[in-house]
Structure 1
Amino acid sequence: MSLDTMQATKRPRNENFPVASLVLSPEHRDAVLAFYAFARLADDIADAPGLKAAEKLNRLDELEQALIAGDPAIPEAARLHAADRQHKAGIVQARDLLRAFRQDAVKARYNEWAELIDYCRFSANPVGRFLLALHKERGGAQGPADALCTALQILNHLQDCGKDHDNLGRIYIPLRWIMGAGSKKAFFEPSRADLRRSVCDAMLDRVDALIDQAQSLPEHLQNPRLRAQSIATVALARRLSERLRRSDPVLERVQVSKADACMAFLKGLGGTLRQPAGSDQRITAAMVRRSGSSFRLGMQSLPQERRRAMHAVYAFCRAVDDIADGAAPPSEKRAFLREWRRELDRLQRAPETPVGRELARASTLFKLPMEECHALLDGMEMDSADRVRITSDYELNLYGRRVAGSVGALSIRIFGVPSAHDFAINLGRTLQLVNILRDVDEDAACERVYVPLSRLAQLGLQDAPAATLVADPRFARVCEGLAEEAHAGFAVADAALTRLDRTALKPAILMMENYRRVLARLQARGWGTRQGRLRLSTADRLHLITRAMRAA
């Protein structure tokens, strides 16, 4: 079959996201449809089941030459060539797309996340760059547009992971992630939904971060029609991510509904009436809201600027903690954490993420010590290993200082009580001890043991698989000792509060009372009869809120 006789396998209306919606002006829609038709033809060549790789590459080369020349024998190439001549946009971006299609013809596996992102630079990002060039938009929109296009591409890969594997022999999910969770065969086995879930969720964490970066795109766009389409597309991307978290793409076709599309269209319509603003602040607030953290109650009691700064700190903590707890291989986790170190280094210049921009604002307003953010990242690197063991009391204290003390040191500056530094460090360690005691079984399932091996060794218990360690009665005896240390830590905090501004520290008091209640429940249950993670009841939460309000 020659180029001029190939029939498109899809139409714009068959795509997941709006290709050339009626929101766009007719002049721009025609150019967009020309770009789509060319890309569709190239994609069909790369996916043609009856063609060998060499023939696919030859046909893609012919298509590129037809585009450059405007060859009327290939209508899709001639039409885009004419659109480029009119709008000065199309050929450069289409040739970038052709690089990705050539790659599809010869490459069927991606080992790491960075490899997949590099593929998206050519398979997805040129589409957004074409739309920006077509509408004569400014350069500031390019970063969030790239993030959106990459997110859409990876969502599509997740949607089609079963079909791509079965029909095309391609796997766009990083192989190292799949092998870390089990094996390639097990991943695509219909009955292994549990294995797929952890990998897909880890990928969706990265996708959601890209969507967050894309959320500011409408604020950069001058053309109201393009702005409307971008708002709708971001909303649909977020909705598809939510649906993929709840469904299994190997077992069923996961897609947005007509109701989702309608709601997205209405959101986009609002963007034609007013210029959006404040997306960064909304994103960090949403991260806090989704977390369900009891600390959220304390944050709500803060004045607006302090609350906004705490949202930024919490969102940063949530983002890096999700990396450490995700299903990506340790080397990938460390790479993602290094990205956050680079983002911290950019805070005084031009941070690239919404959390980074909000954190930079908070840092300026409240003189936050950024070394504490780096300390938190050090702690997350400890958590990112395949197998976590704490060898000694010194290492336990160091870990607690990094993952909890750092957050306390940042928080008390936002509260306006920098003199409470020692209080914050002690309380952070105490809360982390309660975390360790509460999450013993959950951590053991991930081969994590935070109870020091040196304490276990004093009772004759040597290192072993986590499940074996936590099931031993001697492990419970060490837990009892850590619980007593936590009680002592709360007593030290109570004494310190008699000398500090309790009103300003109300959020910390609320958190402290929450954890004190958890510790009491853990002790009442007993260390040898654990039955999953303990959660506070509604009555418990009402009690701690009352205690915190009285504390002020």
Structure 2
Amino acid sequence: MTTAAAPYPSKTHRDESFPVASRLIARPLRAPVLAFYRFVRAADDVADSPDLGAEAKLARLDAMERALRSGDPGEPSAAALHAADRRFGAGLDEAATLLDAFRQDAVKSRYADWAELLDYCRRSADPVGRFLLRLHGEGASAQAPADALCTALQILNHLQDLAKDRAALDRVYLPVPWMAEAGGEAAFFAPENGAARRPVLDAALDRVEDLLARAASLPERVRSRRLAAESAVTLALARRHLARLRAQDPIAGRVALGKRDFARAFAGVPAALARRGRSSDPAVVQRIVSVSGSSFKLGMAAQAAPRRRANYALYAFCRVIDDIADGAAPLSEKRAFLDAWRREIDALPGSPTGPIGRELARAMLAYDLPRAEFHALLDGMESDGEKRVRIPDEAAFDLYCRRVAGAVGVLSVRIFGAPQAHDFALVLGRTLQIVNVLRDVDEDAEIERVYVPLTRLAALGIEDGPAQSMVADPRFAEACETLAEEARAGFAEADAMLDHLDRRALKPAIVMMEGYRRLFEKLRARGFDAPRGPRMRLTKPEKARLLLSVMRPAGGGMRPAGGGG
């Protein structure tokens, strides 16, 4: 099919960022895949034509749909797809849904929020995966991960082409309020404004990462080995594309995959097929854990495999909701994303929708994890997600610590096999959170967060104002010293409580406690006067020594390596 606006296709299937009708697809099915691609490519070219107005585009797309449904031989690409649909039972309905998205492209150039963008992707990307599933005779269980993968690919392409789409088509597929976080659309696209643009791009990539996590089960859910292989290659390329967009600025220059990326993706097919017999969900949560250097991760290494798997799920949940709270998405979007997690938690253990949810469901059933504690964590993340964080008084500080740290402790001791350590978990959680507050004073102030209660600061003559001015006040160190004394007392109380608890079961908690104790000692040795220097952390040798000392049995059971103060 040709048009006056686009006499030749703008691309062939070999020019796409991801494989189309590769040799992994069975030979008899490549022809209908190509027929589908060519029709959709032609329709997309109409929607993207710089030479046609909106009305002409809509008229042309309507004509294409009529030709598709009738099999009009005067429109070769429509006729070919019509014939493929009659033979294979797939293609026509999916292409019609794509035409609906292209009609939207003809008249819509900006998006109000992430949900609106996802709705567009539901029509502009997901039908491609659904077509392939129908073509291969796959069941409904593969649809959700296929949708997630197609949406992820679409958003990756949108982010890659942000500058090109805006310049050529006056279209921007990143929602307007997201660009406002970088100062507005003009500021977002200003080449020199990379520092403000980067957090917004990363927040969008966090959402893509969530989609790819949900897509990870696709190779195991399709019956066709060839389609499983194609899915595995596409997933690998999507992850590589995401990593490149994390590392490079698509406004400063084109970010694209190369031949080496494709070669590595295809080389991974045998290993991907070998994993089809087992769930990908544990690997998804382990991938999240593996990129963390937290003391929580250190403690998890001290567990037997089933309990470690449950704690990995808990940590992955904590990590993703923390990333939502800390990210640069608009506040309304953060709340929407956290609300989605509330719905996921409420669906457990019966109806999880994603890999973290499915792993949490296993843990909830195995270790009787209270749903309320997950909601407490989400409440804490809602507090952290605010544009400006201040803690008004002691009661609010205690509640905050209970939510973000106590809840993790309560859930963790149940997974450890020591539910009787509930009170210990609350004491230790509050103590470790105080250490976090002391460690992150300057980092938090950069994003307008001050966790030292305002009542304490007011007693020292420090009024609420810009966060960096507050923490630079010489009197702020005195407030930190009082918190440090509470942390010292907290460690001592936790030590005393351990004398009446099962140290062996609580071995992971002790590892975490001792890691934080060493960090706390380093903070006190440095002092709290500004300037405080870079963020304090344990070195790899310090972590190794910690594990050796804490893991060594003493007197027939686990003993903490440190003292009480």
The TM-score, its normalising length taken from structure 2, stands at 0.96
Match of 1:516 in 2: 517
Q: Provide closer, same or farther for how the CA distance between residues 542 and 227 of structure 1 changes in structure 2, counting only shifts above 3 A.
A: closer
Match of 2:499 in 1: 498
Match of 1:546 in 2: 548
Query: Quick check: 1:138 aligned with 2:139?
Result: yes
Deviation at residue 274 of structure 1 after TM alignment: 6.6
Map 1:348-427; keep pairs closer than 5 Å: 348-427=349-428
Match of 1:64 in 2: 65
Aligned partner letter, 1:65 = R
Distance 2:475 2:277 in 1: 59
Distance 1:468 1:4 in 2: 58
Aligned partner letter, 1:162 = A
Distance 2:135 2:373 in 1: 44
Contact between 1:306 and 1:414, CA under 8 Å: does it hold in 2? yes
Contact between 2:289 and 2:297, CA under 8 Å: does it hold in 1? yes
Query: In percent, how many aligned pairs have the same letter?
Result: 57
Q: Provide closer, same or farther for how the CA distance between residues 203 and 133 of structure 1 changes in structure 2, counting only shifts above 3 A.
A: same
SS of 1:36's equivalent?
helix
SS of 1:191's equivalent?
helix
Deviation at residue 348 of structure 1 after TM alignment: 2.4
Deviation at residue 294 of structure 1 after TM alignment: 2.5
SS of 1:192's equivalent?
helix
Contact between 2:376 and 2:403, CA under 8 Å: does it hold in 1? yes
SS of 1:473's equivalent?
coil
Match of 1:537 in 2: 539
User: Bigger shift: 120-129 or 248-257?
Assistant: 248-257
Map 1:66-85; keep pairs closer than 5 Å: 66-85=67-86
Aligned length: 552
Listed one character per residue, the Cα deviations across residues 210-263 of structure 1 (whole Å, up to 9, x for unaligned) are 001000011110111111100110111111101110011111211222122112
Q: Provide closer, same or farther for how the CA distance between residues 197 and 274 of structure 1 changes in structure 2, counting only shifts above 3 A.
A: closer
Contact between 2:156 and 2:241, CA under 8 Å: does it hold in 1? yes
Q: Provide closer, same or farther for how the CA distance between residues 48 and 351 of structure 1 changes in structure 2, counting only shifts above 3 A.
A: same
Deviation at residue 456 of structure 1 after TM alignment: 0.6
Distance 1:67 1:427 in 2: 66
Query: Quick check: 1:246 aligned with 2:259?
Result: no
Deviation at residue 349 of structure 1 after TM alignment: 1.9
Distance 1:213 1:275 in 2: 16
Contact between 2:5 and 2:49, CA under 8 Å: does it hold in 1? no
Aligned partner letter, 1:531 = G
Contact between 2:5 and 2:52, CA under 8 Å: does it hold in 1? no
Distance 1:89 1:290 in 2: 41
User: Bigger shift: 274-283 or 166-175?
Assistant: 274-283
SS of 1:6's equivalent?
coil
Deviation at residue 105 of structure 1 after TM alignment: 0.5
Contact between 1:64 and 1:98, CA under 8 Å: does it hold in 2? yes
Query: Quick check: 1:222 aligned with 2:239?
Result: no
Query: Quick check: 1:337 aligned with 2:325?
Result: no
Listed one character per residue, the Cα deviations across residues 101-153 of structure 1 (whole Å, up to 9, x for unaligned) are 00100001012111110100000000000000111100000000000000000
Contact between 2:300 and 2:311, CA under 8 Å: does it hold in 1? yes
Contact between 2:6 and 2:46, CA under 8 Å: does it hold in 1? no
Contact between 1:148 and 1:211, CA under 8 Å: does it hold in 2? yes
Deviation at residue 323 of structure 1 after TM alignment: 0.4
Deviation at residue 271 of structure 1 after TM alignment: 4.8
Map 1:36-75; keep pairs closer than 5 Å: 36-75=37-76
Deviation at residue 184 of structure 1 after TM alignment: 1.0
Distance 2:535 2:6 in 1: 62
Deviation at residue 266 of structure 1 after TM alignment: 2.2
In structure 2, runs of 5+ residues without a counterpart are 553-557, 560-565
Match of 2:562 in 1: none
Match of 2:233 in 1: 232
The TM-score, its normalising length taken from structure 1, stands at 0.98
Aligned partner letter, 2:540 = T
Contact between 2:401 and 2:429, CA under 8 Å: does it hold in 1? yes
Listed one character per residue, the Cα deviations across residues 330-374 of structure 1 (whole Å, up to 9, x for unaligned) are 110010000000001111222111000000001101111111001
Q: Provide closer, same or farther for how the CA distance between residues 351 and 369 of structure 1 changes in structure 2, counting only shifts above 3 A.
A: same
Distance 1:59 1:381 in 2: 47
Distance 1:40 1:337 in 2: 37
Aligned partner letter, 1:545 = L
Q: Provide closer, same or farther for how the CA distance between residues 258 and 503 of structure 1 changes in structure 2, counting only shifts above 3 A.
A: same
Listed one character per residue, the Cα deviations across residues 27-47 of structure 1 (whole Å, up to 9, x for unaligned) are 211000000000100000000
Map 1:451-462; keep pairs closer than 5 Å: 451-462=452-463
Distance 2:104 2:6 in 1: 23
Q: Provide closer, same or farther for how the CA distance between residues 348 and 82 of structure 1 changes in structure 2, counting only shifts above 3 A.
A: same
Deviation at residue 272 of structure 1 after TM alignment: 5.3
Distance 1:275 1:321 in 2: 31
Match of 1:481 in 2: 482
Match of 2:555 in 1: none
Distance 1:296 1:318 in 2: 11
Match of 1:309 in 2: 310
Aligned partner letter, 1:544 = L
Contact between 1:232 and 1:264, CA under 8 Å: does it hold in 2? yes
Distance 1:501 1:83 in 2: 66
Distance 1:297 1:512 in 2: 11
User: Bigger shift: 512-521 or 95-104?
Assistant: 512-521
Aligned partner letter, 2:200 = V
Match of 1:14 in 2: 15
In structure 1, runs of 5+ residues without a counterpart are none
Distance 1:6 1:71 in 2: 19
Distance 1:3 1:133 in 2: 33
Distance 1:474 1:49 in 2: 62
Distance 2:474 2:6 in 1: 74
SS of 1:104's equivalent?
helix
Contact between 1:6 and 1:41, CA under 8 Å: does it hold in 2? no
RMSD between superposed Cα atoms in Å: 1.3
Match of 1:97 in 2: 98
Match of 1:211 in 2: 212
Contact between 2:6 and 2:49, CA under 8 Å: does it hold in 1? no
Match of 2:182 in 1: 181
Distance 1:103 1:464 in 2: 46
Contact between 1:390 and 1:450, CA under 8 Å: does it hold in 2? yes
Distance 2:27 2:507 in 1: 57
Match of 1:263 in 2: 264
Match of 1:448 in 2: 449
Aligned partner letter, 1:102 = R
Contact between 2:446 and 2:468, CA under 8 Å: does it hold in 1? yes
Deviation at residue 487 of structure 1 after TM alignment: 0.3
SS of 1:65's equivalent?
helix
SS of 2:313's equivalent?
helix
Aligned partner letter, 2:546 = L
SS of 1:170's equivalent?
coil
Distance 2:86 2:24 in 1: 23
Contact between 2:325 and 2:334, CA under 8 Å: does it hold in 1? yes
Aligned partner letter, 1:180 = E
Aligned partner letter, 2:412 = S
Distance 1:5 1:492 in 2: 75
Distance 2:267 2:460 in 1: 65
Contact between 1:90 and 1:130, CA under 8 Å: does it hold in 2? yes
Match of 2:563 in 1: none
